[in-house]
Structure formats: C-alpha cells, structure tokens
Amino acid sequence: MNYPSRLLTLLASSAFFAFSLCLFTLAPSHPLLGGELDQTFRSMRFRCVGPFRAGRSLAVASHPSDRMTYYFGATGGGVFKSSDGGDTWVDITDTNFRTSSIGAICIAPSDPNVIYVGTGETDIRGNISMGDGLYRSTDAGVSWSHVGLTGTQAIADIIVHPDDANTVLVSAMGHVFGANSERGIFKSTDGGASWRKVLFRNDSTGGLTLKMDPTNPRIIYASLWQAYRNGWSMSSGGEGSGLYKSTDGGETWKDLTKNPGMPKGIIGKICVDVSPAQKNLVWAMIENANGGLFKSTNGGASWQRTSTDANIRQRPWYFNHVYADPKNADVVYVLNVGMHKSINGGSTFFGIGTNHADHHDMWI
C-alpha cells in the first residue's frame, strides 16, 4: 500500500527497559509538515506498535517501495520484520546470527531482497553487547550469510550503492573497551566477499555516520569518533574525531573538520545527514564545547551553527542523531531524550511527543 501524500515516520526508542516502535502517519495539512491543522487529523498521535521486549534499538529500515514492510534491530534482541505496517513483528535472525546485538540495517535500493545488517552497539553505554561483523541476506531476511568484518565488534552505519547491491560501505566503531585496528570505513564491491579499509585515523578512533548524497552516489560523508569506555569511566572526543567527504565513491577522503565555521578545540561525536530537498545542504550535530547543530549549503566547504539548544545537545555521546526532511529543506529532526523538529532551517526546535524517552534512530 502506498501513501503518496503522507509522511510515514518510524522511530526507534528506549525507556525504562521497555522497547517499542512508534508509528505515526502525518497528513499533509498537519503542523508537523508545516501546514495548517486540519480538524480531521487533530486526534492522530504516535502509537506503540511493539514488539514489547526489553532493550533499545539503534536501527530501523523500510522497504523502498512497499510501505508495509519494515525492519528494526534491537541491541540485545536481533532483527525483527513486519509485513503489515507494524501490526505484527517476526524475529528473522535468531537461528542465523551468532550475536543478538544489532547496530545498523541497510536495504539495497536496487534490490530490496538484499539486506545488510551490522552487529554491535555504538551508542556506548557501559552495558553494551559486542557484535561479530556483517551479515547479508539475498531473500529479504529468510536466510543469512556472514560476510566478514568480525573483529570490528561494533558497526554504526551501512550504505549501499543505489544501482549496485554488491557495492557497500560500512562504518565500524571497533572495540569500545580497547584499541584495535579493525575499525574505520570499509568498502566492498563484491557483496562482502572481500573488504578494503578506505578511511582510518588510528586504533582508538572508529567510524560512525555514513551518508550518501541522494543526487550523486559518488559523494559520501563520513564521521570518525575517538571514544572508549572502561569499567569506571568513558571518554568522548580527541584528535581522531572528524568529518570527511568523498567525491569518488569512498576511494579517497577530504577532511572537513577545519573548514570555516566548524567549532575549534576537541571534537567528539558527529552525526551528519544530507538533504534530498536541496542540493549541497548538509546537516551535522557536533559534540564540542561550542557544538550544536551546524548547516552547510555548499557541500561542507563552510558551515554555520544554527542552534545551541540544550534539548538537542545533552548527552551527545549517547544521542546526537540528525535527519533531513526529504521534501522540505527547512525541516530537520534531531533525536535526543526527546524527539525534536525545526521548520525554520534549524534555528528553533519544538518537541514531538512519543511513547518513550530516548530516541536513537529514525526512518522517513
């Protein structure tokens, strides 16, 4: 079933150790879309569609053309699939995966039967579970193959070329509790049969966000994050952290971190998104003493800080996620303890009520 005039939002959240997904269909005239409130839709609210399991989720994804098919990954419960718009959910990995901790899910745009799942959690609480690399399905989750990157332990993001289901880039955080070299940005052109490390800083800095320009698959943005935990503390930020851009499909990278408008000093966690609604519009949530939400209108050449709102900046090592609206360049979402939305280019934000606190991922 298609919803050509509506925006379907899928949120992953956690609160009080109860996990659920929140689903909400927004009418074109709803104020969250920037129009006037239509009385017909006044009563519509986010609703919990389950499943009711302990834990949290960092990964949600949707079939590119079937708006009734969704996937989510729990940090301790594997991958679930719904084929009826979220009414029912079925576990699809318990008999195939060697780990239950899921960090990222990506469906190949050119062939939605091809799904990549990265294991391990990268919102690094003290109680996270480790992963064992990347899995691939070619039959929409019926069966799975392990396709490498075992030593990464925590995969944060995955992108697949829009025309080639075998070309995939993976952002790997690496070992959270110690240094290791199997971290950074990896690329495969044969569906995971072999991998090349294409972006790496040091053995204490891992890959975090990966975003492809919707208008040009050769343009890719990636963030690296220097962070670790031990039994009594954590550290977020360091010389290894930064934001990078590739214009050749991830083969080579340019550091954007020192570009005009970027904050100075120690950089921590950076999450980035590219607007489908306006060419060269890039959003970045940056952890820094002078951090907040930053915007670039020239593909990262220069930046402007648009918001220092404490509601979108708190606990950046755990949240900090930003999402561009696909239709309106002035609309941007930031996930934190609450879900926040701006309709004026990131200048001000208002909260959107959901069933839970703590919001970690979003699909529009």
**57-363 CATH choice from 3.30.465.10, 2.130.10.10, 3.40.50.720, 3.40.50.360:** 2.130.10.10
**pLDDT at 28 (0 to 100):** 43
Residue % of the chain over a pLDDT of 70: 86
Q: Tokens 């659920």 correspond to what residue?
A: 20
Amino acid at residue number 350: F
Confidence of residue 146 (pLDDT cuts 50, 70, 90): very high
Give the C-alpha distances (Å, rounded to integers) separating 104 from 109, 165, 268: 16, 16, 21
What is each CA distance from 103 to 58, 186, 200, in whole angstroms?
Answer: 6, 16, 20
Q: Mapping DSSP to helix (H, G, I), strand (E, B) and coil, where does residue 93 land? A: coil
Phi, psi of 48 (to 5 degrees): -80, 125
CA 5 to chain centre: 25
pLDDT number for residue 353: 86
For residue 19, pLDDT beyond 90: no
Element of type H or E holding 242: strand 242-246
- d(CA 294, CA 326) in angstroms, rounded, equals 18
| Prediction pTM value | 0.87
Cβ 360 vs Cβ 321: under 8 Å: yes
pLDDT tens profile 278-299: 999 999 999 999 999 999 999 9
Residue 268 has pLDDT above 70, yes or no: yes
Residue type at 63 in one-letter notation: H
304-307 vs 168-172, strand pairing mode: unpaired
Q: Which of 183, 135, 187 is nearest to 159 (CA)?
A: 187
**pLDDT single digits (tens) 174-201:** 999 999 999 999 999 999 999 999 999 9
Residue 59's identity, in one-letter code, is A
What the block records as the tokens of 279 is: 């060419």
Q: What is the pLDDT of residue 75?
A: 87
